[in-house]
């Protein structure tokens, strides 16, 4: 296993291109199950998660090749195997997004229940509620979900649930509805840009999806979908992470291939903290800081609210604000694995239920810390970039799941960070 060795204090400067979105690429890859003919996905990031899903799709009968230029070619060759096994799903929960495509295209699906992960319980009840609404028979046998239905039938489905909506649940139901008989309306659908990207890809393949990006998505079922060439939307969470890395080091960095319109909730909070964020004439985004960081209050919400995937990174930044901040996590109430590790670095964080009180300190001190989940690990790297002395972040395989060569890209911006075998 590798770790990152970071010596803090270097201000980040330069330009960083943002990659395609991991959370868009995964459902887009799964959607290729629905199509006749070849799909070419451009801008898919080379991550542990995308490689893992490619492996699962191959086991499900797709030919998946990554070209030299990074393009992903996907084509269904065999529809016999419809079983996404436990050993694969437990390693990456997002594998559940093969459920809807398998069911609607092949009439059956067997997918292991993903169980929990480091950020808390990861139920799929809303996915199953939506798919059974479309007529699927759903059984839980030996830890696997078994779904069956020769031809799904469109209907009205409410996906609100206790947290406002479900991103992958919306993706699963939307994909399943594309080949169902008749019209499906998803009420309280997720509005995330990654869901919009999936709907746009499906329409490019001949589907008839409308309302994507709003809480009501309508899908007119069609008989068949063809493949197409499609470019993945830029990764708003990666962009937000680099914005915060710039702010925490008092740097001055330009992001390219960054959809600022997908980050308005983060931009609102960063500007309140005192971070300068401006569009450049050539379509980039310039990030810098010019004064002490101000404390703020943050509550994570479904899109377009403040993203839970940027909560940990923003907490690292607020450790150095001039006063007390409050961060409340409403999507994954247990998503605070980074709190104890940041406190090891001299932060003053106190958890009260779903809220963390962040008491600003003058300085963080480097220490050996351990990564636990993707975004908590990114937060520890950001803290190490500014902490006094050396920080060693172990188990960086968590970070490799969602950020491509992050240490090389940070080093290019001037950070003193190296990957070393643990």
* Binding footprint of ligand EPZ on the chain (CB under 6 A): 23, 26, 94, 121-127, 161-163, 166-169, 194, 308-309, 331-332, 374-375, 402
Q: How far is CA 379 from CA 124, 166, 193, 269, 313, in A?
A: 27, 24, 23, 17, 4
- 80, exposed or middle or buried, with CB in 10 Å at 0-12, 13-18, 19+? exposed
Q: How far is the CB of 162 from ligand EPZ (least distance, A)?
A: 6
- Work out the angle between the directed axes of helices 125-133 and 167-178 (0-180°, nearest 10): 20
Distance of closest approach, residue 10 Cβ to ligand EPZ, in angstroms: 26
Nearest residue (CB) to ligand EPZ, 167 versus 417: 167
Which residue among 3, 117, 155, 319 is the active-site one? 117
Nearer to ligand EPZ, 94 or 386 (CB): 94
The reply to whether 117 belongs to the active site is yes
Q: Which is nearer to ligand EPZ, 166 or 289 (CB)?
A: 166
- Smallest gap from Cβ 373 to ligand EPZ, in A, equals 7
Residue pair 62/119 in contact by the 8 Å Cβ criterion: no
Q: 260 and 234 in contact (C-beta within 8 Å)? A: no
To ligand EPZ, the closest distance from the beta carbon of 291 in angstroms equals 31
Q: What stretch of H or E contains 271? A: helix 264-273
Q: Give the DSSP letter of residue 161.
A: -
Measured from the CB atom, the residue of 16 and 124 that comes closer to ligand EPZ is 124
Least Å distance between CB 335 and ligand EPZ? 8
Q: How far is the CB of 304 from ligand EPZ (least distance, A)?
A: 12
Q: Which is nearer to ligand EPZ, 24 or 383 (CB)?
A: 24
Starting at the edge strand found earlier in the chain, the sheet holding 275-279 runs 13-17, 252-256, 285-289, 275-279
Joined together, the tokens standing for residue 392 give 């060693």
Residue 113 is classified by DSSP as: -
Which parts of 99-251 are beta strand (E)? 108-112, 137-141, 144-148, 156-158, 183-187, 208-210, 216-220, 225-226, 229-231
Instruction: Answer for the pair 275, 285: CB distance below 8 angstroms, yes or no.
Output: no
Nearer to ligand EPZ, 29 or 413 (CB): 29
- Give me the helix-helix angle, 167-178 and 99-106, nearest 10°: 10
In whole angstroms, what is the distance from residue 74 CA to residue 63 CA?
6
Catalytic residues: 117
């Amino acid at each position: 296993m590798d770790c990152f060795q970071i010596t803090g204090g270097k201000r980040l400067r330069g330009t960083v291109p943002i990659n395609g979105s991991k959370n868009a690429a995964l459902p887009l890859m799964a959607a290729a199950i629905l199509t006749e003919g070849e799909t070419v996905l451009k801008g898919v990031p080379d991550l542990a998660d995308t490689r893992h899903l490619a492996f699962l799709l191959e086991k499900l009968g797709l030919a998946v090749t990554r070209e030299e230029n990074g393009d992903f070619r996907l084509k269904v060759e065999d529809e016999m195997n419809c079983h996404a096994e436990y050993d694969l799903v437990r390693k990456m929960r997002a594998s559940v997004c093969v459920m809807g495509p398998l069911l609607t295209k092949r009439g059956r699906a067997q997918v292991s229940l993903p169980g929990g992960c480091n950020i808390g319980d990861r139920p799929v009840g809303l996915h199953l509620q939506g798919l059974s609404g479309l007529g699927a028979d759903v059984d839980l046998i030996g830890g696997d979900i078994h779904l069956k239905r020769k031809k799904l039938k469109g209907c009205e489905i409410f996906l609100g649930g206790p947290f406002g909506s479900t991103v992958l649940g919306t993706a699963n139901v939307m994909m399943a509805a594309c080949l169902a008989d008749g019209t499906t309306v998803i009420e309280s659908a997720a509005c995330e840009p990654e869901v919009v990207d999936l709907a746009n890809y499906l329409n490019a393949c001949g589907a008839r999806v409308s309302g994507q990006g709003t809480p009501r998505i309508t899908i007119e079922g069609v008989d068949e979908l063809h493949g197409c060439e499609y470019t993945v939307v830029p990764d708003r969470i990666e962009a937000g992470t680099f914005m915060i890395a710039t702010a925490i080091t008092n740097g001055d960095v330009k992001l390219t291939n960054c959809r600022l319109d997908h980050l308005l909730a983060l931009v609102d909070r960063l500007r309140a903290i005192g971070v300068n964020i401006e569009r450049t004439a050539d379509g980039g985004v310039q990030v810098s800081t010019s004064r002490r960081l101000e404390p703020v209050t943050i509550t994570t919400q479904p899109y377009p609210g403040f993203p839970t995937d940027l909560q940990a990174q923003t907490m690292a930044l607020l450790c150095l604000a001039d006063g007390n901040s409050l961060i409340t996590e409403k999507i994954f109430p247990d998503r605070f694995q980074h709190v104890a590790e940041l406190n090891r670095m001299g932060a003053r964080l106190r958890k009260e239920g779903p809220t963390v009180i962040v008491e600003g300190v003058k300085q963080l001190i480097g220490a050996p810390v351990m990564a636990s989940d993707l975004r908590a690990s990114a937060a520890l790297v950001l803290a190490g970039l500014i902490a006094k002395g050396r920080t060693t972040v172990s188990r960086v395989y968590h970070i490799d799941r969602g950020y491509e060569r992050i240490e090389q890209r940070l080093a290019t911006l001037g950070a003193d960070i190296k990957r070393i075998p643990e």
